[in-house]
Amino acid sequence: MDNKLVVSSSPHLRTPETIDTIMRDVLIALVPPLAVSIWLFGLNALGVVALATVACMITEAVLVHDKISIAKIKGDWSAAVTGVLYGLSLPPSTPWWIVVIGAVVAIIIGKQLFGGIGYNIFNPALVGRAFTVLAWPNYLSDWTKPFETPDVDAASAATPLSEASAEISDLFIGTVAGSLGETSILAILIGAIYLIYRGHVDIRVPVGYMGAVAAVALIGGEDVLFHLFSGSAFFAAVYMATCMVTSPFTKTGKLFFGIGCGFFTAIFRIYGAAPEGVTYAILLMNALVPFLNKYTKPKVYGEVSS
């Protein structure tokens, strides 16, 4: 007689989504910024991102598995996402050894030290970037003009943020100096639409992020459109602040998290010593996520407090 009653522990209903499918969608959404970076900075851009990705994947495989194989290096694609995000946060002329060291730091300190995916407090890609910026600031502020060959020995170009000026049309298309993935608002917007369509991005985070940047810029007497379109703010609001692991799980918490990221980004930009503040703004808000989850957790209907 066939079993008609099956007893098992929860959960009993499972979504068809897995870590693999979500990470593959994020990688697909990162294709437009990557393609634009290759168009602007040549194959050197592809080399930086590919090296960062491979270094992250191999580092994680070595740490997690006793024996290495292609399937284990691929893993659940989360290390690949970390590598692509980290690579796209770098200037096109970043030396290969800095790319590799930052990738290793991102996986070891940013992810595996906390127990792996699902347990990490901070965005691993930003941990890798923060480390390289602190260790080698000269290399991480060496920018290349679009359509010129990246060269660490060549004269540096200024980013729109450091010069505080650029045409909005150039910022929208991406024909400005900057980190590989940050320059084109159009490419990032295409990726954002795909992630929202696939249900992987809660719009409260990027809307809160960019809304706070605009509000602080307006109060500070700055050009609002310039601050929205320049630097890494839009790239981070779409791809990094929306990380499912390092952002709050409550709806209200997500909104406050986005607002906090945008607020600190604008404060660091306008009143800080460095032209950009995205990395430290998000890492700071990552540390506050447990508190946001605790104090924005909705009350259960009928619940009686003790």
Amino acid occupying residue 141: S
* DSSP state letters, 33-90: HHHHHHHHHTHHHHHHHHHHHHHHHHHHHHHH-SS--HHHHHTTSHHHHHHHHHHHTS
Mean per-residue pLDDT of the chain: 89
Instruction: Return the pLDDT at 266.
Output: 94
How does pLDDT run across 46-62, given as a tens digit for each residue? 999 999 999 999 999 99
Nearest to 32 by CA among 170, 173, 240: 173
For residue 147, what pLDDT is reported? Answer: 83
pLDDT at 117: 87
Distance CA 173, CA 178 (A): 13
Residue 124: closest CA among 179, 68, 55, 188? 55
Q: What is the pLDDT of residues 62-99, one digit of tens each?
A: 999 988 899 999 999 999 999 999 999 999 999 999 99
Helices (H), the chain: 19-29, 31-41, 43-64, 70-74, 78-88, 96-108, 124-135, 160-163, 168-173, 185-197, 204-219, 224-229, 233-235, 251-271, 278-287, 289-295
Q: Give the chain's domains with CATH numbers.
A: 19-291 (1.10.3430)
The pLDDT confidence band at residue 206, using thresholds 50, 70 and 90, is very high
Model-wide pTM > 0.95: no
For 109-135, what is the mean pLDDT? 94
What is the per-residue burial (b if ≥16 Cβ within 10 Å, else e) of 258-278? bbbbbbbbbbbbbeeeebbbb
The gap from C-alpha 90 to its chain's centroid, in whole angstroms, comes to: 12
To the nearest 10°, the Cα dihedral for 292, 293, 295, 297?
140
CB atoms within 10 A of CB 194: 18
Nearest Cα to Cα of residue 45 among 7, 87, 76: 87
Q: 3-class DSSP state for residue 157?
A: strand
DSSP SS3 for 172: helix
Whether 178 and 5 have beta carbons less than 8 Å apart is answered as no
Q: If you ran DSSP here, which 8-state letter would residue 143 be given?
A: B
Name 258's Cβ contacts closer than 8 Å, sequence gap at least 6.
Answer: 204, 205, 206, 207, 208, 209, 211, 212, 237, 241
pLDDT of residue 174: 84
Angle of helix 43-64 relative to helix 78-88, nearest 10 degrees, comes to 140
What single-letter amino acid sits at 20? D
| DSSP 8-state code for residue 113 | G
Q: What is the pLDDT of residues 260-303, one digit of tens each?
A: 999 999 999 888 877 778 999 999 999 999 999 999 988 776 66
- Angle in degrees, CA 69, 74, 79, rounded to 5: 125
Q: Is the N-terminal amide bond of 16 cis, ω within 30° of 0?
A: no
